[in-house]
Amino acid sequence: MTTDDYATYIAGLPRVLVGAAALFRDAEGRVLLVEPNYREGWALPGGTVESDDGETPRQGARRETREEIGLDVALGPLLAVDWVPPGPVRARPPLVAYLYDGGVLDAERLKSIRLQEEELISWRLVAPEHLTEYLPGELGRRVAAGLDVLARGGGPVELEDGHRVG
């Protein structure tokens, strides 16, 4: 196979987006959520990994956290990896979403949050029992799985559309 043939082969492969987010909590166990201005609903600090630049999911989650809420935090362990398929309503390719432990933020760190106004409207802390009101679907299931890993210990979980696999 020539270099041109290989390049053509690679260009024809399916594309998959890679996303990464951080799961931050406060001392009461509430989860930090952000409200984007470019779509409905709430999310975790995070976003698309810039893999064309060689960025890893962990680096992407840290960069997005720094850009979106102004916190430069060394992330803890990987909590979950989620395969989110495209659907009839979704106008995007499949997504592989990484979820990292952002740790517990004390009152001082929470006061230092500075929103990226180009992308975010607000932030809030939400008790785990109310997360489904803010994070429906696979994101809510992914966050619940991440909280479960933190509560039980152990390694990361594999998810498909937010549901545990295996």
Backbone angles phi, psi at 40, to 5 degrees: -75, 150
| Torsion over CA: 73, 77, 83, 87 (sign) | negative
Helix then strand then coil, % of the chain, to nearest 5:
30, 30, 40
Mean of pLDDT values over 103-111: 97
Rounded to an integer, what distance in angstroms lies between the CA atom of residue 91 and that of residue 117?
25
Rounded to an integer, what distance in angstroms lies between the CA atom of residue 166 and that of residue 40?
32
DSSP assignment letter at 128: G
Rounded to an integer, what distance in angstroms lies between the CA atom of residue 38 and that of residue 68?
13
Flag whether pLDDT at 90 surpasses 60.
no
Mean of pLDDT values over 24-50: 96
Flag whether pLDDT at 43 surpasses 90.
yes
Flag whether pLDDT at 120 surpasses 90.
yes
Q: Which of 87, 58, 79, 92 is nearest to 146 (CA)?
A: 79
Rounded to an integer, what distance in angstroms lies between the CA atom of residue 124 and that of residue 32?
6
pLDDT digits (tens, 9 = 90+) for 47-76: 999 988 899 999 999 999 999 999 999 999
The predicted pLDDT at position 5 comes to: 79
Q: Global pTM?
A: 0.92
Backbone angles phi, psi at 84, to 5 degrees: -115, 110
Backbone angles phi, psi at 83, to 5 degrees: -95, 115
The predicted pLDDT at position 81 comes to: 98
The predicted pLDDT at position 11 comes to: 77
For β-strands 17-25 and 95-104, DSSP reports them as parallel
Q: Which domains does the chain have, with CATH numbers?
A: 16-164 (3.90.79.10)
